[in-house]
Amino acid sequence: MVDNQAGGKRHVDAIVIGAGPAGLCGAIAIAESIGDGTKVLVVDEGIEPGGQLPKQTHKFFGHEGFYASVRGFEIGKRLVDKARELGINFLMQTTLAGIYEDSIVAYDRNSNSVSEYTADYILIATGASERFLLFKNNTLPGVYGAGAVQTLMNQYKVMPGKSFLIIGAGNIGLIVAYQLLQAGAKVKAIVEATSKIGGYMVHANKIMRLGIPILLNHTIISALGEDRVEGAIIAQVDGKFKPIPGTEKEIAVDTICLAVGLQPSVELVAQTGAEIKYISELGGYVPVRDENMKTTVNNVYVAGDLSGIEEASTAMIEGYIAGYNIAQKITGKDMSEKITNMKNELVEFRKGPFAAKVREGLKKMGISFPGGGYREEIQQMPSSLSRLKAVIECPQAIPCNPCETSCPTGAINTGGNINGVPQVDYEKCTGCGICVTKCPGLAIFLVQQREEHSIVGIPYEFLPVPEKGSSVKLLDKNGKYVADGQIDRVMINRKEKTHIAFLKVPKGMEGVVRHFEMSTVSEESQAYICRCEEVSRNDVEKLIDSGITDYEEIRRVLRIGMGPCGGKTCRSVVLQIISEKTGVPISESRLGAFRPPVIPLPIDAIVRYAKGVGTDE
């Protein structure tokens, strides 16, 4: 319930700024604990609550307690539904213009009005903004931040372009590239200035097996185009990230997507008077806070990317920690057990190598987290798999274990730490495929060696779903063609929307094949032989395959050579194709009749001649 005060100000127990995962979890924790969600107000600039979640179509990492293996937009819906059930108030499309000593000023874009609020406690979860990159012509239409691309594509169903260059190989760049491919766009390359991929390798592997190059030690020099992006110039960089002359390359694209990192949005928390400190490991300027998420101002708390750039899972946990601490102060109840449980969750999530930077950054605030204690050994695929078994290709210690918790026989384990590299007990594995559909990184495959060929089951998230018996081109881990194969069957999973396409592959290639392309008519086959009548090579070959191998018969059926050129362009090509398909030398083939006229004649010229009209009249 929002109480009105004298002077038009409205009072709430707690105001939460930001309706992303951190803000939603914080609001839920407060509302559940105080027993009255109407005393909690959530304010956000977006058109719908959820922050970045509504535009996230990929499955999240972590564990099932924090929605691992659930797609981001579904997580957002669950959290928002829970918040509304608790009676929490939302002010959407509303910007907090400022936080003053005696009021919080909000601007509602819908009503074009300003209102004032006061609150006993403030939880600021404003997230982060995208970093930009300086390069020539970076203001051309067609240069987007990754968040804008996701918003247009996944929320508004609008594709900002057809062919993309992605700048940045962190998780955001890799995820957006994959989502663009799912939407039918072309991704020409991903460019990364450093010498290593910053995101999870399971994300990178998804991209590479689709044939998309990730160019390390490269950067963008310039966008090309007059009125909008028509291409980009990239170049290699030296150890100081300076372009190396002579290494420039031009790439034809119509959209450049920048995914070069995030920086915490500290503007509002700075207005409260809370101390702000520059800590590079946390993303730049961040509010100084304690392990309870309290800033240097007693009634102001923070959570999520605002407090340090990290994953959505840790943002949710921080939101709960902040929310329970606020609720404890509002109600006077002891919430220490819930707070401790959430802190223990953070300890587990932050033990892995990807949290090393965050651990170093938090040390500068006097907050310590232990690292290590996780398994890093990668299990090799067994040499003999006569029955269908799961093969895990998760090469890094990342905080994720849905494969372990979803396995009905307990065949998969991460070694007692959520960050551990998972391994399979092949005595227990039944090849059911549940782990394949649950894995957020699409890093699990099913393999079986048969007498004449092998079967490889791959996770598949594209449309259309291939049909049984379809011919396919088999691709390796880098998206390179290695052999021809066939779709053995497809296991459809409508709930997870991660299907399993089982491929028949040549024996001995079960450890090589990791994706496929549908076999389609080649560009050469689709090329026109007879441009006058728009007859393609494929049309001619189909007719020859049906048994018609005489040029004259082909001409009668397809009208080859009956156009304005009289066959000058197409006759020799068709004869060559007949020879290739039948094995009969061209010298032994019938050339076909040459009928007049050899060039098209205007009808009026013939009529004029028939009437005896001279050409000079």
Spatial contact of 208 and 199, defined as CB atoms under 8 Å apart: no
Percent of the chain scoring above 90 in pLDDT:
82
Architecture of domain 521-617: Orthogonal Bundle (1.10)
Which is more confidently placed, 9 or 593? 9
Query: Is residue 98 over pLDDT 70?
Result: yes
User: Residue 611 has what pLDDT?
Assistant: 79
Q: What are the phi and psi torsion angles at 216 (to 5°)?
A: -80, 160
Per-domain boundaries in the chain: 3-128+264-363, 132-260, 389-518, 521-617
What SS3 state is found at 544? helix
| Mean pLDDT, range 63-69, rounded to an integer | 95
What SS3 state is found at 599? coil
Nearest to 104 by CA among 118, 94, 84: 118
Burial 315-341 (b: 16+ CB within 10 A, else e): bbbbbbbbbbbbbbbbeeeebeebbee
Nearest to 80 by CA among 98, 68, 92, 62: 92
Considering the four listed CATH numbers 3.40.50.10320, 3.50.50.60, 3.10.20.340, 3.40.50.300, the one that applies to the domain covering 132-260 is 3.50.50.60
Burial (Cβ within 10 Å: 0-12, 13-18, ≥19) of residue 522: exposed
DSSP for 530-582 reads ETTTTEEHHHHHHHHHTT---HHHHHHHH-TT-STTTTTTTHHHHHHHHHHHH
Query: Cα(222)–Cα(273) distance, rounded to whole angstroms?
Result: 41
What residues contact 142, with CB distance under 8 A and at least 6 apart?
160, 161, 223, 225, 228, 229, 254, 255, 256
What single-letter DSSP state applies at residue 490? Answer: E
**Residue-wise pLDDT tens digits, 334-353:** 999 999 999 999 999 999 99
| Mean pLDDT, range 166-194, rounded to an integer | 97
User: Residue 7 has what pLDDT?
Assistant: 54
Nearest-Å Rg of the Cα atoms of the chain is 31
Query: Cα(247)–Cα(365) distance, rounded to whole angstroms?
Result: 43
**What is the sign, positive or negative, of the torsion defined by CA atoms of 382, 383, 388, 390?**
positive
What single-letter DSSP state applies at residue 294? Answer: B
Of 88-97, 302-311, 606-615, give the lowest mean pLDDT range.
606-615
Nearest to 172 by CA among 262, 233, 98: 262
Statement: 3-128+264-363 belongs to CATH 3.40.50.720 = no
User: Residue 617 has what pLDDT?
Assistant: 47
- Six token digits for residue 325: 């601490």
Task: Find the length of the chain.
Answer: 617
DSSP lists the bridge partners of residue 517 as 473
Query: Cα(17)–Cα(264) distance, rounded to whole angstroms?
Result: 14
Note whether 3-128+264-363 and 521-617 share their fold. Answer: no
| Mean pLDDT, range 273-281, rounded to an integer | 97
By DSSP bridging, strand 104-108 and strand 113-124 are antiparallel
What single-letter DSSP state applies at residue 438? Answer: H
Spatial contact of 31 and 23, defined as CB atoms under 8 Å apart: no
Query: Is residue 6 over pLDDT 50?
Result: no
Spatial contact of 45 and 94, defined as CB atoms under 8 Å apart: yes
- At position 281, the amino acid (one-letter code) is E
- Six token digits for residue 394: 């998760």
Angle at 388 (CA atoms; ends 473, 62), nearest 5 degrees: 85
**Residue-wise pLDDT tens digits, 519-551:** 765 555 567 778 777 788 888 888 888 888 888
DSSP for 62-98 reads B-GGGTTTSBHHHHHHHHHHHHHHTT-EEE-SEEEEE
Max distance between CA atoms of the chain, in angstroms, equals 114
Query: Is residue 438 over pLDDT 60?
Result: yes
Query: Cα(398)–Cα(376) distance, rounded to whole angstroms?
Result: 10
Please tell me the pTM assigned to this model.
0.84
